[in-house]
Structure 1
Amino acid sequence: MKFIDEARIEVAAGKGGNGAVSFRREKFIPLGGPDGGDGGRGGSVWAVADRNINTLVEYRYTRHFKARNGEGGRGSDCYGKGADDITLRVPVGTVIHDEDTGELIADLAQDGQRALLAKGGKGGLGNLHFKSSTNRAPRQSTPGEPGESRNLQLELRVLADIGLLGMPNAGKSTFIRAVSAARPKVADYPFTTLHPNLGVVRVDTDRSFVIADIPGLIEGAAEGHGLGHQFLRHLARTRLLLHLVDLAPFDPDTDPVHEARAIVEELRKYDEELYRKPRWLVLNKLDLIPEAERQGRIDAFVEAYQWQGPVYAIAAISGSNCQPLIFAIMDALDELKRTEEPGEPAGEAAE
C-alpha cells in the first residue's frame, strides 16, 4: 500500500430538521390545539484513531464527507428522526488542523481516541412549544440549525521512541534492519528510503522500543533540496534522536564533520523544539576503515565536531557494536519514562 502521510479533506455536518406547524384534528374534539413536533438533529462528523490503519491514502482520493440532514417534525406530536453520525477512521498519530484558521482540532495519539470534526445542527422547534394562555393556536416554528463545515488538513506523525537522523546513505535503513525485524530497502544510491519505516527492537521479553527511519536530509533541505523537510514531522513524537554519520564516505572529498553540522542546522531551521531533543552520535561504517585506524578516525571526528554527548561507533551492515547501543537506548528510555520530564539535548556541536 502506498504510504500517504498528508491529506486535505472537507467535512460537513447535517442540517437539523425544521419544526412542524400542525393542529390536532380528531372527531368530537374541537379546538384540539397545536401538535407540531420538533425536527431531528443533523448528523455529526467524527474522527477515531485506529491502530489497524497505517496510512492516510483513503483520504487522498475521497475528500468530501457529508453527514445527512435531520428529518423535519410532523403532526400528532411526531418528532423528526435524527441523522446518523459518520466516523472517519484514521491512523494512530494523526494530527488534524482547520486549514482556514490553523486551529488544532485534534491530536489522536491513542488507539480508539475520538474527536468531533463537525457538529450537526439542532432540530427546530414545532409549534406545540409556543402554546400559551394567550396564544392557543400558535403558528410559529423554528427552522433547523445548519451543521458545521470545515476544510481540514490531516497529518500523520508516526509513534516511535527513537528517530534516526542523517544524510542519505548514512546507513539508517541498514541499522534498522540490523536491530529489528523491519526490512526497508537498502541500496548503494541516495534516497533509497522514500517514506518512514518503523521497527520494533526487542531487548528482553518485556522490554522493547520502536525506532523510526525517515528519508535522509541534505544541506539545503529547508529550501526544498532533496526531499526537503517533508518527513521530519515523524520525529516530533520521539524521545531520543540517533544522528548517524557515515565515517567512511566513498567520495574522498566528502567531509563527515561538515555533513553532520549541516544536518543539525537543517533540524534547527525546521523546528527548534525538535532540535533540542536528546541526541546521540552514532558513527557508522567502521567495517570500511582498517582496524588500526578506527579509533584515531573516531577521536579525530569527535574533536573536530566538538561533540560533548554520547558517542557510539558501529558497523550496521554486520551488526558490530549494535548491541551495546541498543541496551544503552533502552536504559535511557526507561529513565526518561520514569521522570516524565522534557529531556535536554544530550550534546551539541559548537556553532
Structure 2
Amino acid sequence: MEGGNQSAISEFILLGLSDQPEQQMLLFCLFFLMYLITGLGNLLIILAISFDPHLHTPMYFFLSNLSLVDICFTSTTIPKMLHNHISKNRTIPYSGCLSQAFFFIWFGGIDTVLLATMAYDRYVAICAPLHYSTIMTPKVCIFLVLVSWFWAYTNSLTHTILLTQLSFCDHNEIPHFFCDLSFLLKLACSDTFINDLIVYTLGGLTTILPFIGILISYAHIFMAVMKISSMSGKKKVFSTCGSHLTVVCLFYGTIIGVYFIPTSTNITQKDTAAAVMYTVVTPMLNPFIYSLRNKDMKKALRMLITRKPGFTLRL
C-alpha cells in the first residue's frame, strides 16, 4: 500500500478519547467490558442459530452473518485502543493505520448492505408470504451475503488505495481512538478532492443506497400492516420488524451524521461520540435488541445455555 504514497511520516499518533491519566484505566475497563459483551453476545447469537434447526431460515441466516461481521467490526478498532491505554504508547505505523482503515470500512460496509438485505427479507415475508419460499431460497440468501462482502470489499479497497496517494506532512496526530477515513482526510496536507468525491459517490452507494432500500421496504411493510384488521396481527408484525428498525436507526443515524452531513474542518466531540456509537455501542446492543424482543431467539438461547437433549449443532 505504500508504493504510491508521498507521505513524510511513518506513523500516526492516536490521541484516544481522553488525555487525562486518571481516566485511562476507567476507559480501559469500560471498553474492555463492552468489547467482551459484544463478542460473547454476538457469539451466542451465532451458536443459538446454528444449534436450533427451527432458526435455519433466511432471517436468522442474515442475523448470524450480521453478528459475525459485528465481531470483526469491533475487533478492528477496540483491541488497539485497549493496547494503547495499557502500554501508554499511542503510535500506530502508517501501514497499520491504513490496514485498520481498510478493515473498518470493509466490515462497516458489509453491515450496511446486510441491514438492507434483512429489510428486503422482511418485506418479502410480510408483503408476499405465499412466494417467500420461492424467492428467498438458500442460493439467493448465500448470493446476497456474498454480494454484501464483495461490494463492501471493493468500496474499502478503493478508499484505501486513494489514501495511499495522499501526503501527510507534519500533522500525524489523530484525535480519535482509531484510523477513521474522515479523520485521515482532515489531516492530509495534499488535495483530497478525489477522496471526498469518492466518499460521497461510492461511499454513498454503500451507505445511502441500502438505507433508501430499507426505507422503501418498510414503507411497503407499513402499508401492508395498515390493511391488517386484527390488532394482534399488527402487533406481531411490528414486534418482528421493531428490533431491526432500532438497529437501523442507531447505525445509520450516526454514520450519516459523521460522513454525509457537512461539519467544520476541526474534529469535534460530536464526531467522536457518534463514532463510538456506531463502532462500539451498536454492535454491543445488537444481540440484546434481537434476542430480548424475539421469542424464538430467547428460546434458542435458553436451550443453548442449558444444553437440553436433542439440541445439536447444524452448520
Q: TM-score, normalised by structure 2?
A: 0.23
Larger Rg: 1
Instruction: Give the structure with the larger strand fraction.
Output: 1
Instruction: Give the structure with the larger helix fraction.
Output: 2
Larger RCO (alpha carbons 8 Å, 6+ apart): 2
Q: TM-score, normalised by structure 1?
A: 0.21
